[in-house]
Structure 1
C-alpha cells in the first residue's frame, strides 16, 4: 500500500494569494489529508512550514530546540513546497493503513496519534 497526498490546507494561509512579508522569515500551519493511493479515504496530518530565520527568531537565547512536526524551507515558493510534500508522501509504502499512518506520523502529527478505544 502506498500513501497519497489528497490535499493541503491551512487555517492561516490562502495559497492562491499568500506571500510572506519576508520570504526568509515566516511560519504557517498546514493540514495534510493523506490516505491510501486510489482511495477516497484520508486522515489529517498537521505540521508547520517555517524557515530557519523564523526558528532562530522565535527561539532566541535557547540552547536547543526539538523540531517536531516541522517542514523547514529556505524561502517561499508554494508550488515547490507542495511538490516536495507530494513527492515525499507518495513514496511511502507499508503493508496496511495503520503501518502507513505510523510512518507518516514520524514527520507530521497524525489526528489519531494517541487514540485509544
Structure 2
C-alpha cells in the first residue's frame, strides 16, 4: 500500500495556489496535507507548519530554542514546489497496511489520529 496526496488546505489561507505572502522571505502558516491510500477513497489530515528561516528566527522563544518537528522550511512561497516536495516524500511511505503507511507519513506532518494511536498503546 502507498500514500497519495489527495489535496492541500490551509485554515489561514483561502487560495493556496494564488497566495502571495506580505513578506516573501518571512512567513509561516499551517498547511493541512490530506493524504490517503493511493488509488482508494479516503483521506486523513497531516498538519505541517510551512515557514521561512527568517520566520523561525523571529519566532524563537526567549531561550533561543524552537522544536522543529512537522516543519517544512522554504526560502520563498512556491505552491507547486511545496506540493512536489510532499509528493516526493510520500514515495517513501509504503507498507502492508494504512496504519503502517500513516506512521511513516506522520514524520512529515502531525497525523490527526496520532493521539489515538499512542493512546491505544497505553
Q: CA deviation at 1:48?
A: 0.8
Using the alignment, how far apart are the partners of 2:61 and 2:25 within structure 1? 16
Which of the two has greater helix per residue?
A: 2
Unaligned segments of structure 2, at least 5 residues: none
Other-structure match for 2:46: 45
Contact 2:44 2:111 in 1 (8 A): yes
Using the alignment, how far apart are the partners of 1:108 and 1:11 within structure 2? 15
Other-structure match for 1:7: 7
Aligned length: 117
Contact 1:4 1:89 in 2 (8 A): yes
Q: CA deviation at 1:67?
A: 0.1
Moved over 2 A (4+): 60-64
Using the alignment, how far apart are the partners of 1:16 and 1:103 within structure 2? 27
Other-structure match for 1:64: 65
| TM-score, normalised via structure 1 length | 0.91
What is the correspondence of 1:26-45 to structure 2 with a 5 Å cutoff? 26-45=27-46
Unaligned segments of structure 1, at least 5 residues: none
Deviations 1:16-41 (A, max 9, x none): 33101111110110111111110011
Q: CA deviation at 1:60?
A: 5.8
